[in-house]
Amino acid sequence: MHLQVSEFHQFEAGGNPFLYLVPSGGIFAVDELSRKALAIAKEQPREAKELLDALVASGATVEDARDCIEELVGARALGPEGGWKEPIDEAPAKFPLQTLVINLTNQCNLSCQYCYEYGEDKVATPEGKAKFMELETAKQSVDFLFKESAGRNSVHITFFGGETLMNFPLLKQIVDYSQSEAKVKGVTIDYSLTTNATLLRQDIIEYLSTNAIGVTVSMDGPKEMNDQLRVFANGKGSYDIIVPKVKELLKHHTTRPIAARVTLTNGVRDVAKIFHHLKNEIGFHEVGFAPVTTSPTRLYAIDEKGLDDVLGQFEKLAYEYLEFALRGEHHGFSNVSDTLSELHQGISKSHPCGAGLGLLGVGPSGDISPCHRFVDSDEHKLGHVSEGMDSTKQQDFLKRGHVNAKYDCESCWARPVCAGGCYHEAFVRYGDTGHANLHYCDWIRGWTDLCLKIYGEIATHNPSFLNHFDQRKAS
Amino acid sequence: MRHLRAINKKARRIDDLLSTTEGDFVALQQNNAAQRPHYPMGCSIVFSPGWEVDSTGGTAGLCQPVERDLYDCYISCYWPAQVPDHLNNYPEWTSKCAAATKDWRNIDLVFP
């Protein structure tokens, strides 16, 4: 029987060597002897005895060498030739719903060119469907959430659009209705919404704050960047309209942290400048970035070189996050805190996200979709709130999305956190939600490696900071 | 653990699990007093008649699933197993089977 190195990613942080184990997601600090054992086993598979002898020859005691090998095998850093092959459990057939994203309307008062709902790569087929959700459909959606989340004592409703606030009256009605139902059922509900901020008013801000509704503002940075693509139908930029409203929001909405969500495009990718503008000049609590989802031929698409450039900028900002973390301070670059949270838990994903599992989207017509990005798309419809889920379609979606169904992911060390990446991105690029997002592989590995190093640094120099991540984020 | 130090929550769970199951791996090992983790002595990584069962007569101690044998008969083994003719008549026989240990169920049935 030969032992060989199993799957893991080795990294150094704070001068110490670490292992990120795959697929378990465990992170271990390793001592010099373990490092030696792995280096020897890496050259070629060895008999356990041969490995032990080599370690003893290098100066270790027999007992130390044996314990070391046992620990490495126990943690599965070493394993039988051919690797540890154990089937990962399939997702359970019945999974209680946690989050419902309700699209109050599919209408929007902006005409952002890259919009995944209306832009050139849209998947939605809204023709002939309701443009604004009716109260009856909204109530059915809430009932659906309660029914499908049976067993949970807290659930989440996210309001989405179109532009969410174009149907603010319905938002209030949904909050009222769901609160009265929740009291009867003894369930707590947490609310949030995403908005372009153009329609914020004093009374709306007060309402959102009073009801502790979390707010994410879609905004792309300083004026010259935000106004490149976030424009009204007449081409006029939205920056001047939204900034005073956002400042009012930040001043008066005090019950929840307010986040900005930035879409990076070819012309808008000065990450540090955008971050510091939104965080320090405007005053957002945190800022998250995502490259635009698009087919590669669009003018605003970021090419491979551009993505490398973005990663380089993310790295700089991530090390700034580290400086803050080592001082025990909040920084606000949410891409880092999201990834650190996953690394801290050591999650190993069967699916890239909760879409179709713990999270579902509902369109204005009441059609159910895997998430808000597929709302109003006939092809991706998973049922209707009045009739319930089409479990055959749901199972098909989940089966194709399972990381084990993606051959390209099989040998990748970043699969515990990635699992193939966003379904919507995959559909836009490859026409299949179950396709791995191959155009992002190097990027994801680079980003995960960077965040592992940040994690290792924090674990070495200020481990108590990691307590922030003890509570697992739901959904 | 003395040589590995658990850092994140998953690593601590692995550590806990190992400390509670120490000495449980016995499959092919002799009944010696000190129970050490099991390093299987024989296996079915390649089809090798005589090694398809472990010392107890079962398959649990093998380091590859027995199903792996089926595939190896076809790919790499000298043993004249009855598998479909993949050169002329059934070239697609295993096209849906990228990793035998996981995908062996996808190997096509062939009715000559």
Interchain proximity A28–B39, CB inside 8 Å: no
**SS3 sequence, chain A?**
CEEEECCEEEEEECCEEEEEECCCCCEEEECHHHHHHHHHHHHCCEEHHHHHHHHHHCCCCHHHHHHHHHHHHHCCCEEECCCCCCCCCCCCCCCCCCEEEEECECCCCCCCCCCCCCCCCCCCCCCCCCCECCHHHHHHHHHHHHHHCCCCCEEEEEEECCCHHHHHHHHHHHHHHHHHHHHHHCCEEEEEEEECCCCCCHHHHHHHHHCCCEEEEECCCCHHHHHHHCECCCCCECHHHHHHHHHHHHHHCCCCCCEEEEEEECCECCHHHHHHHHHHHHCCCEEEEEECCCCCCCCCCCCHHHHHHHHHHHHHHHHHHHHHHHCCCCCCEHHHHHHHHHHHHCCCCCCCCCECCCEEEECCCCEEECCHHHCCCHHHCCEECCCEECHHHHHHHHHHHCHHHCHHHCCCCCHHHHCCCCHHHHHHHHCCCCCCCHHHHHHHHHHHHHHHHHHHHHHHHCHHHHHHHCCCCCC
Q: Is the pLDDT of residue A149 over 90?
A: yes
**For residue B74, what pLDDT band results from cuts at 50, 70 and 90?**
low
What does the block give as tokens for A230?
A: 């976030």
Q: What is the pLDDT at residue B85?
A: 75
ipTM: 0.88
Looking at beta carbons, which residues of chain B come within 8 Å of A72?
A: 3-4
Q: Which residue of B has its CA nearest to A33?
A: B3
- The pLDDT confidence band at residue B86, using thresholds 50, 70 and 90, is confident
pLDDT at A398: 92
User: Which of these, A260, A262, A255, A267, lies nearest to A282 by C-alpha position?
Assistant: A260
For the segment A298-322, what is each residue's pLDDT rounded down to a tens digit? 889 999 899 999 999 999 999 999 9
The pLDDT assigned to B62 comes to 61
Q: Which residue of A has its CA nearest to B106?
A: A405
Those residues of chain A whose CB sits closer than 8 Å to some CB in chain B are: 1, 3, 18-19, 21, 24-31, 33-34, 48, 64, 66-68, 70-75, 77, 80-82, 85, 87, 343-348, 404, 407, 410, 455-456, 459, 470
Domain A2-80 has CATH 3.90.930: yes
Instruction: State the catalytic residues of B.
Output: 69
Structure confidence at residue B32 (pLDDT): 41
Instruction: Give the per-residue pLDDT at A463.
Output: 95
Of A98-107, A201-210, B35-44, the least confident? B35-44
Residue A83 has pLDDT above 90, yes or no: no
Q: Which of A384, A389, A450, A395 has its CA nearest to residue A417?
A: A450
pLDDT digits over A86-123, tens only?
A: 665 666 778 899 999 999 999 999 999 899 888 888 89
Average pLDDT over residues A39-57: 92
Among the residue ranges A77-81, A152-156, B2-6, B99-103, the one predicted with the least confidence is: B99-103
Residue B99 pLDDT greater than 60, yes or no: yes
Instruction: Give the model's pLDDT for residue B90.
Output: 82
Which of A85 and A317 is assigned the larger pLDDT?
A317
> At B38, is the secondary structure helix, strand, or coil?
coil
Lowest mean pLDDT among A142-146, B42-46, B54-58: B42-46
At residue A360, what are phi and psi to the nearest 5 degrees?
Answer: -135, 155
Least confident of A173-182, B7-16, B54-63: B54-63
**Position A430 pLDDT exceeds 80:** yes
First to last CA, chain B: 56
User: Is residue A184 packed enough to be buried (19+ CB in 10 Å), middle (13-18) or exposed (0-12)?
Assistant: exposed
Least confident among A58-72, A117-131, A220-234, B73-87? B73-87
Position B110 pLDDT exceeds 80: no
Say yes or no for a CB contact (<8 Å) between B101 and A75.
no
Tell if the CB–CB gap between B99 and A410 is shorter than 8 Å: yes
Please say if the pLDDT value at position A336 is more than 70: yes
Answer yes or no: do A343 and B8 touch at CB < 8 A.
yes
* Amino acid identity at B77: C
pLDDT at B63: 56
A99-103 vs A359-362, strand pairing mode: parallel
Q: Which residues of A27-54 are buried (b: 16+ CB within 10 A; e: fewer)?
A: bbbbbebbebbbebbeeebbebeebbeb
Query: Both tokens of residue A308?
Result: 């490398």
pLDDT at B48 over 60: no
Alpha carbon distance A458, A130 (integer Å) = 50
Domain ranges of chain A: 2-80, 99-368
Do the chains contact at A345 and B101, CB–CB below 8 Å? Answer: no
Lowest mean pLDDT among A198-207, A338-347, B97-106: B97-106
| pLDDT tens digit sequence for A408-425 | 999 999 999 999 999 999
Cα→Cα distances A6→A39, A75, A432, B32, Å? 12, 10, 31, 28
Query: Domain A99-368: which topology?
Result: TIM Barrel (3.20.20)
Q: What is the pLDDT of residues A220-276, one digit of tens each?
A: 999 999 999 999 999 999 999 999 999 999 999 999 999 999 999 999 999 999 999
